[in-house]
Amino acid sequence: MFDKLLKASETLSPSVAKLLQKAGLPVEEKELLKSTNPDNIPVESSYRGPRIDGPITRKTLVDLIEAFQQGQVLHEKYVCVILHQARVILKSLPNFNHIDLSVLRHIHIIGDLHGQLADLLHIFNANGLPSTDNPYIFNGDFVDRGHNSVEVILLLMTSLVLYPSSVFLNRGNHEDIMVTVRYGFQNEVIQKCS
């Protein structure tokens, strides 16, 4: 899918190296991690969008929101930065998460965003950005149908990286590979990220 990534050298970022050292990691997964290593993806001098040159911070989330509101597309290098960090967190989680509601003052439960960036931004504007004091559960169907599925999933993954104990992502049927092919997410990823 990412032709440039397949030509990447063997230099690995610390998060990728950590995953590759994990015992029992399938060969296919090791190849995926190597081929999508963000450290090996050059950024063209003509790129004017947001950059992630250090740890993902709250400012990163705000910068992404502002860029996506202006219709900017995130460079594939930075897409991989977000996805690699989110992958480390997601791989460490059980398939079923228990949330202790007794320690929370409130929690926002959001469903069926379907690639509607305007809806997600309205939710964040009305309720505040995710944080340790402002937790969110996103109940699946993040992508497909809308025109900004890539942006929606990147904002959700960035939020997860920032607040892994306060942002919960439950897969819906639209996160199934066959559904993403049928309803357009795969094509959107190819168009925006390659």
Residues 82 and 115 in one domain: yes
98 is catalytic: no
Three-state secondary structure string covering 34-71: HHCCHHHCCCCCCCCCCCCCCCCCHHHHHHHHHHHHCC
Distance between CA atoms of residues 157 and 68, nearest Å: 15
List, in sequence order, the alpha helices (H) in the chain: 14-21, 27-35, 58-69, 76-92, 117-127, 149-162, 177-183, 185-192
Residues 17 and 84 in one domain: no
Distance between CA atoms of residues 37 and 84, nearest Å: 8
Cβ atoms of 189 and 74 closer than 8 Å: no
Residues 13 and 63 in one domain: no
Residues 59 and 115 in one domain: yes
* CATH code, domain with 121: 3.60.21.10
Residues 37 and 58 in one domain: no
Q: Give the model's pLDDT for residue 132.
A: 92
Residues 89 and 62 in one domain: yes
Strands of 167-170's sheet in order across: 108-111, 136-139, 167-170
Residues 150 and 70 in one domain: yes
**Domain assignment present for 76:** yes
Q: Give the model's pLDDT for residue 136.
A: 95
Q: Give the model's pLDDT for residue 6.
A: 33
The total of structural domains in the chain comes to 2
Residues 155 and 68 in one domain: yes
Q: What does each of the 194 residues of the chain score in pLDDT, given as a tens digit? A: 233 333 333 344 555 555 555 556 677 777 877 888 888 899 999 999 999 998 999 999 999 999 999 999 999 999 999 999 998 888 888 888 888 887 778 999 998 888 889 999 999 999 999 999 999 999 877 887 878 888 999 999 999 999 999 999 887 666 767 767 777 778 877 888 87
Residues 120 and 31 in one domain: no
Residues 7 and 74 in one domain: no
**Domain assignment present for 143:** yes
Q: Give the model's pLDDT for residue 125.
A: 97
**Domain assignment present for 99:** no
What pTM did the predictor assign? Answer: 0.81
Residues 25 and 59 in one domain: no
- Of the residues 75, 84, 114, 174, only one is catalytic, namely 174
**Domain assignment present for 49:** no
**Domain assignment present for 101:** no
Residues 86 and 114 in one domain: yes
* Residue 29: domain span: 1-42
